[in-house]
Amino acid sequence: MLQGALTAWVNFPVNASPRPLVLPDGDDQIVGSASFGVSSNDQKLAFGEGAIDPPPTLPSTPTEADGYRLITAGQAFRELSAGNGQSLTATRIQTTSVTLGAASFDSDRGPLQLPAWVFTFGGGVTGSQAVLAVAPASTYPIPAPLITQSRLSMFYQAELGSDQRTLTVDTGGAPSGSGPCDARYSLEVASSDTAVAIGVVVQPNPAPSDQACPALAVLTQLTTVLAAPLGARVVINVQAQPVDVTES
């Protein structure tokens, strides 16, 4: 089962510099600054609906920044103003400026500072919103999830130790233990030159017929030591989806 997940990533350019971005949340991410805020509920609705007017002028776009190819400011504005298809307010947001800067976006290696088109607004809107400026050409397309019947459970994040080989996986479910409402947990791991696939094995302990087990989701941490440093390889689950790996 894990071999199929590895096959989905066989073409990942693990030796490329910079490493292609792997973005589980997609390449159209938008994040607000810490000080971003609106002054009314109508403004909140307007942002959700994409009722945003363009800035007076759009800056020119360099070919790349930090080694990544970029989308234009106009493309970024179209993402910002895409909206949810609703029309609940007549309020519109006026964009006052757009500049090329940087912001923190989620990747398979945790939050990264990446090029971003940063938009500011009038009408009492504070702070800014940043649209990821990295073009799809500089990201790696994530394969479609594998639809398979498997006894392996998925997980969504892991921590890489300082030795670059120890991975600690977070999973959740019944408490780990030998009790009647507990479960035994272990990991199955398969590796290739481009990816490391991990599945969680969950073996529930038999529960007495006269005992009802509570529905709990307890955090369980499991550790595996890779034969070689992780390097630029992608950590994936049984469905071939990348997971968030942070370094300790």
Which pair of structure tokens corresponds to residue 201?
A: 């094995």
Contact 77, 120 (CB under 8 A): no
Q: Tens digits of per-residue pLDDT, 51-78?
A: 999 999 999 999 999 999 999 999 999 9
Mean model confidence pLDDT for the chain: 93
Contact 158, 220 (CB under 8 A): no
Q: Is 94 helix (H, G, I), strand (E, B) or coil?
A: strand
Helix intervals (H) in the chain: 2-7, 41-49, 73-80
Q: Tens digits of per-residue pLDDT, 181-236?
A: 899 999 999 999 999 999 999 998 887 777 788 888 888 999 999 999 999 999 99
Q: The pTM is what?
A: 0.84
The sheet carrying 52-53 orders its strands as 30-32, 128-132, 110-121, 93-107, 52-53
User: Which H or E element spans position 173?
Assistant: strand 166-173
For 162, residues 6+ apart whose C-beta sits below 8 A from its C-beta are 247, 248
Strand pairing class (157-160; 166-173): antiparallel
For 149, residues 6+ apart whose C-beta sits below 8 A from its C-beta are none
Nearest Cα neighbor of 173 from 205, 223, 218 is 218
